[in-house]
Amino acid sequence: MNSPCIAVDAMGGDYGPEVVVPGAIAAARSKNISLVLVGKEKEIASIVAQEGAEDLDIQIHPAEEVVGMDEKPSEVLRKKKNSSIQEAFVLARKGQVDGVVSAGNSGATLACGMFTVGRIKGIERPALASILPTEKNPVILIDVGANVDCKPIHLLQFGLMAEIFAKHVLDITRPRIGLLTIGEEEGKGNSLVKQTFELFKASPSNFVGNVEGRDIFKGNVDVIVCDGFVGNVCLKLMEGLALSLTNLLKKEVKKSFLAQLGFLIARRALKSFGKKIDYAEYGGAPLLGLKKIALVCHGASNSKAIKNAILMAASFIENKANFHLEDGLAKYEELVSFCKTTETSQPKSA
Amino acid sequence: MNSPCIAVDAMGGDYGPEVVVPGAIAAARSKNISLVLVGKEKEIASIVAQEGAEDLDIQIHPAEEVVGMDEKPSEVLRKKKNSSIQEAFVLARKGQVDGVVSAGNSGATLACGMFTVGRIKGIERPALASILPTEKNPVILIDVGANVDCKPIHLLQFGLMAEIFAKHVLDITRPRIGLLTIGEEEGKGNSLVKQTFELFKASPSNFVGNVEGRDIFKGNVDVIVCDGFVGNVCLKLMEGLALSLTNLLKKEVKKSFLAQLGFLIARRALKSFGKKIDYAEYGGAPLLGLKKIALVCHGASNSKAIKNAILMAASFIENKANFHLEDGLAKYEELVSFCKTTETSQPKSA
């Protein structure tokens, strides 16, 4: 197999090429991969030169338009047909790259991906899967923001996609799937969750039932399914809580000389702890259900996060994640059609 | 004004009277209040005697039935007509107590409250409000679990109730209300949130717009509105994340002697930090919208949490929280009827 080739949206994220390009270069230095940096040619070339990275397998593909973090996906599709994110997916559709990494607007990334490379057969809604650290092994939380209004069948498909992904990419033999809700017992939750529970029960998956917010970090399941509204609120809440706890602790420590001394002495352990919970260690969130590998990074990603996301995408490509997804979902085709016919609820779409 | 008189569901919570009764006694020792402990007479009397609390203004009201933490509210209403939580609300309806505190099943507490003391005029759904610590002042998150499937009008009413409460009980002149969603800009969110946004914009409240999960702990708003499913998931996630971070940090510290030494030296600051984020310091969550003051404590409450919840209930009573709620909501009557007539969505009820 050739080394993985990845298109990187060099203009994405809150900091653009200044952060994305060095991250991409770091990835290319640490692993045998080919990269295509998509965006404003001159800007990118100058950073590549600054970093002395001309020897690496890095090409630049020009795209003059940049998608802002707050632009509406529908408008991006209509008005910015040559944006860096769009061009990255065009390269993927043409088979010139195996996958796409972007730290840009996740809604626009999803829209461009759906429009340009399309969905895997049978998948109604691709979903954003976040891989989170827990007290044990990492857990996949899906969906964390691609779909804000979901039907039960969507949640079932999110779970099935994450299950296949966990099996073939994370090497978990029989991934345990949980449904995020507000009580352990069957029957707890809103109407979406209650209906979804029935679908999972009818599936051959290793469905272990309901999971509550407090269980996310215990690491007792491998996949946690929720709608993209709830998942996104949770993801940002975790981020905010970890940051606020750190701020509060720092304030407390600043008040006392002894505390400062203590923290100085314990700094190695604190650093190792910080690394364990640093999102940058986990790179990006795979967008499951598109015909090509696509990873979305946090808008505020630093170069380390970009590097790790690119390495993650490379490992997904090497593990043939999308082949396994298409193959695995084909096996679930009958189950999904059956569930569609028995569907009772009709919530609005996003 | 007489000292506040509060009925305490002595059988509630994961630990029952062993934890609730000492908590109640501690509250009665620290403030001039009257308590009625509701539940199994002998058990309660023996703990009161053990604690040497016969001199305090504490009565026992017998109720032989106990509601389990997982019992369905509808079945509790039907089958356990003499449960401790039900009897506590009966005392409130008769005017023998000013408020109710329970660490029991929150769904059953809500059901008994609605059935026995009833709702404030115009309120469709009472909601559970959690008062959370932030980097600045505490914030009220509402609803954290009473209503899992909501309409926009419900969310509007949650916000109005919390606003009045924040004004008259927490002494915030013009409480800032935010709507929990997945992006700062108007138009971000699921269909429920988008419709609710319009209602708040039309209200005379100090509505400051959307708030994301990461903003909850910044302390830049006083009230954050969400449906009870999202709120409950968030509440439990916070609890789980704080616990898991602590566990991970402890593990890391255990690995190294230096880190242990450092933490020993910094222990005072760590303790003070722990106190700031300890839910037990904040007591219980007020159930807003009932005709009487009612507070629900965490099922796993320790005696300190019970004590603080009772003191919180006492301060709500002294501040005439329910008078202000009824009075304030009456002023919003026209707005609410207007919103009801313009309502477009029809999600299912819980």
Nearest residue to A192 (alpha-carbon basis) of A237, A143, A238:
A143
Between A278 and A85, residue with greater pLDDT: A85
Q: Can you tell me the distance from the alpha carbon of B312 to that of A98, in angstroms, rounded to the nearest whole number?
A: 59
The pLDDT value given to residue A279: 64
Residue B83 is classified by DSSP as B
Domain annotation for chain A: domains and CATH numbers: 5-118+290-319 (3.40.718.10), 128-278+329-342 (3.40.718.10)
Confidence bin at A284 (pLDDT 50/70/90): confident
Residue B272 pLDDT greater than 80, yes or no:
no
The pLDDT value given to residue B69: 85
In which residue are the tokens 């009980």 written?
B169
Helix, strand or coil for residue B301? coil
Give residue-wise pLDDT tens across range B127-161: 999 998 888 889 999 999 999 999 999 999 999 99
- Between β-strands B293-296 and B285-288, what pairing exists: parallel, antiparallel or unpaired? antiparallel
B78 lies within 8 A of chain A by CB:
no
Residue B188 pLDDT greater than 50, yes or no:
yes
Q: Can you tell me the distance from the alpha carbon of B141 to that of B178, in angstroms, rounded to the nearest whole number?
A: 10
The pLDDT value given to residue B345: 47
Report the mean per-residue pLDDT for chain B.
Answer: 89
Q: How far is CA B61 from the centre of its chain?
A: 24
Q: What is the mean pLDDT of residues A276-289?
A: 78
Q: What percent of chain B has pLDDT over 70?
A: 95
Nearest residue to A62 (alpha-carbon basis) of A83, A81, A46, A47:
A83
Query: CA-nearest residue of chain B to A213?
Result: B237
Give residue-wise pLDDT tens across range B9-68: 999 888 999 999 999 999 999 999 999 999 999 999 999 999 999 899 999 999 999 998
B72, B216, B262: residue with CB nearest A263: B262
The pLDDT value given to residue B90: 97
B139 lies within 8 A of chain A by CB:
no
Q: Can you tell me the distance from the alpha carbon of B211 to that of B284, in angstroms, rounded to the nearest whole number?
A: 24
A214-248 burial by CB neighbour count: b if 16+ within 10 A, else e? bbbbbbbbbbbbbbbbbbbbbbbbbbbbbebbeeb
- The residue of A69, A241, A345, A348 whose CB has the most chain B CBs within 10 angstroms, and thus the best one to mutate to test that interface, is A241
A74 lies within 8 A of chain B by CB:
no
Q: How high is the ipTM of this complex?
A: 0.86
The pLDDT value given to residue A350: 38
The pTM of this model reads 0.89
The full length of chain A comes to: 350
The pLDDT value given to residue A1: 59
Q: What percent of chain A has pLDDT over 90?
A: 61
Give A112-146 as a DSSP string.
Answer: HHHHHT-BPTT-SS-EEEEEE--SSS-EEEE-SSS
Give residue-wise pLDDT tens across range B215-262: 998 899 999 999 999 999 999 998 888 888 888 788 888 888 887 887
The pLDDT value given to residue B143: 96
Residue A213 is classified by DSSP as G
Residue type, B346: Q
Q: What is the mean pLDDT of residues A136-158?
A: 93
Angle between helices B257-265 and B228-254 (to 10 degrees): 120
CA distance A224 to chain B (A): 13
The pLDDT value given to residue A346: 47
Strands (DSSP E) contained in A174-308 are 177-181, 207-212, 223-225, 285-288, 293-296
Nearest residue to B193 (alpha-carbon basis) of B205, B206, B207:
B207
Give residue-wise pLDDT tens across range B166-176: 998 888 999 99
| Helical spans, DSSP H, in A51-126 | 73-79, 84-93, 106-116
Residue type, A125: R
Residue A139 pLDDT greater than 70, yes or no:
yes
Give residue-wise pLDDT tens across range B307-328: 999 999 999 999 998 899 988 8
Nearest residue to B88 (alpha-carbon basis) of B70, B71, B105:
B105
Residue B164 pLDDT greater than 70, yes or no:
yes
Backbone angles phi, psi at A143, to 5 degrees: -95, 140
Q: Exposure of A297 by Cβ count < 10 A (0-12 exposed, 13-18 middle, 19+ buried)?
A: buried
Confidence bin at B1 (pLDDT 50/70/90): low
Contact yes or no for A213 and B253 at CB 8 A: no
Helix, strand or coil for residue B293? strand
| Helical spans, DSSP H, in chain B | 17-30, 41-50, 73-79, 84-93, 106-116, 152-168, 191-202, 228-254, 257-265, 267-277, 303-318, 321-331, 333-342
- Chain B neighbours among A 92-121 (CB < 8 Å)? none
Residue B346 pLDDT greater than 50, yes or no:
no
In which residue are the tokens 């905010």 written?
A240
Contact yes or no for B252 and A235 at CB 8 A: no
The contacts of residue A108 (CB under 8 Å, 6+ apart) are: A67, A71, A73, A76, A83, A85
In which residue are the tokens 């770091």 written?
A26
Sign of CA dihedral B239, B240, B246, B250: positive
B68 lies within 8 A of chain A by CB:
no
Give residue-wise pLDDT tens across range B300-309: 889 999 999 9
Lowest mean pLDDT among A67-71, A90-94, A225-229, B272-276: B272-276
Residue A135 pLDDT greater than 80, yes or no:
yes
B235 lies within 8 A of chain A by CB:
yes
- Are B139 and B223 in contact by the 8 Å Cβ rule? The answer is yes
The pLDDT value given to residue A277: 65
- Are B289 and B124 in contact by the 8 Å Cβ rule? The answer is no
Q: Can you tell me the distance from the alpha carbon of A262 to that of A260, in angstroms, rounded to the nearest whole number?
A: 5
A148, A226, A245: residue with CB nearest B245: A245
Helix, strand or coil for residue B179? strand
Confidence bin at A333 (pLDDT 50/70/90): confident
Cβ-Cβ contacts under 8 Å, B256 against chain A: 266, 268-269
Q: Can you tell me the distance from the alpha carbon of B190 to that of A147, in angstroms, rounded to the nearest whole number?
A: 9
Give residue-wise pLDDT tens across range A96-112: 999 999 998 888 999 99
Query: CA-nearest residue of chain A to B247?
Result: A135
- The residue of A181, A236, A261, A344 whose CB has the most chain B CBs within 10 angstroms, and thus the best one to mutate to test that interface, is A236
The pLDDT value given to residue B102: 95
Task: Give the H or E element holding residue A237.
Answer: helix A228-254
CA distance A349 to chain B (A): 8
A244, A268, A277: residue with CB nearest B217: A244
Give residue-wise pLDDT tens across range B67-89: 988 888 889 999 999 999 999 99
Q: Round the CA-based radius of gyration of chain B to a whole number and report it.
A: 21
Contact yes or no for A237 and B238 at CB 8 A: yes
Tokens standing for residue B153: 């009008």
Cβ-Cβ contacts under 8 Å, A180 against chain B: 233
Contact yes or no for B149 and A190 at CB 8 A: yes
Residue type, B128: L
- The residue of B72, B229, B275 whose CB has the most chain A CBs within 10 angstroms, and thus the best one to mutate to test that interface, is B229
Cβ-Cβ contacts under 8 Å, B183 against chain A: 70
- Are B163 and B173 in contact by the 8 Å Cβ rule? The answer is no
Give residue-wise pLDDT tens across range A194-233: 999 999 999 999 999 999 998 998 899 999 999 999 999 9
Between A306 and A70, residue with greater pLDDT: A306
In which residue are the tokens 């299912």 written?
B348
Contact yes or no for B134 and A244 at CB 8 A: yes
Angle between helices A267-277 and B228-254 (to 10 degrees): 140
